[in-house]
Amino acid sequence: MSFEQPRAQRNEPEEPELHERLDNLELRVHKLVGETKMNLQRIPGGEELASTAEGQSKLLKIQESARRFNQRVLGVAAMINTPTVFTGIAEGIGKHMGADWEQTLDPLINMGGRITATSLFTACVIMSMRTMKMYDQAEKTLNTMERKS
Amino acid sequence: MPQEQLQTAMQQIEKRLEMLKRENPAEYERMLKELANALEEFNRDLHSIV
């Protein structure tokens, strides 16, 4: 009869328990949400970018990247079976959110030390929609300018 | 977006996430990893563009 040795005696690295892994992942996503918000704040506005050739090229890259991010967040919404909720938030943001996006976002990422997957996911939806909306609007302005010239 | 609308949407998401975490924690973990990877890629892009 053989008994399996405890993991520590076998000198194998111990894999963190599931709840510990989930806590670490939530912390990682929380940190990344904060970094993304800071990066978004550093990018010049769409109208400003549209005013120079170099800016226009950046504008297109940001749009492309925001669309890719949006698709991936939509993929997560499908994983948790909430694509209609995603669309609801996205449409709501499209209609109502302007320069106040940070006021909507901040409570989600500063929840008094409490991090929830829901607030993190919602923050991602808001950031992806805000970026798409902001730079899509700039592209429309750019197209209008090109037609006029 | 009106706060009440956002709160309602978040409650629906929370219900789904709690259920997923309880019934299929591996899928819940996969979902968090996907969110982290999507954010990492987006951040990398933004860094290289600006």
Mean pLDDT estimate for chain A: 80
Question: Does A62 map to a domain?
Answer: yes
pLDDT at B36 over 90: yes
Q: B50 or A121, which is more confident?
A: A121
Flag if A82 and B45 touch (Cβ within 8 Å).
no
The domain containing residue A129 runs over which residues? 46-148
Question: Does A100 map to a domain?
Answer: yes
Residue of A nearest to B1 (CA): A96
Question: Does A139 map to a domain?
Answer: yes
Question: Does A57 map to a domain?
Answer: yes
pLDDT digits (tens, 9 = 90+) for A4-14: 666 556 666 66
| ipTM computed for the complex | 0.89
Question: Does A17 map to a domain?
Answer: no
Whether B46 and A40 have beta carbons less than 8 Å apart is answered as yes
Burial class (CB in 10 A: 0-12, 13-18, 19+), A28: middle
**Global pTM?**
0.81
Chain B nearest CA to A134, separation (Å): 15
Flag if A81 and B30 touch (Cβ within 8 Å).
no
Question: Does A127 map to a domain?
Answer: yes
Question: Does A79 map to a domain?
Answer: yes
Integer angstrom CA distances of residue A54 from A50, A57, A134, A143: 9, 5, 18, 16
Considering only CA atoms, which of A139, A136, A105, A134 is closest in space to residue A122? A105
Helix H segments across A99-116?
101-109
- Tell me how crowded residue A122 is: count the other CB atoms within 10 A of its CB: 23
Tally of domains within chain A:
1
Question: Does A2 map to a domain?
Answer: no
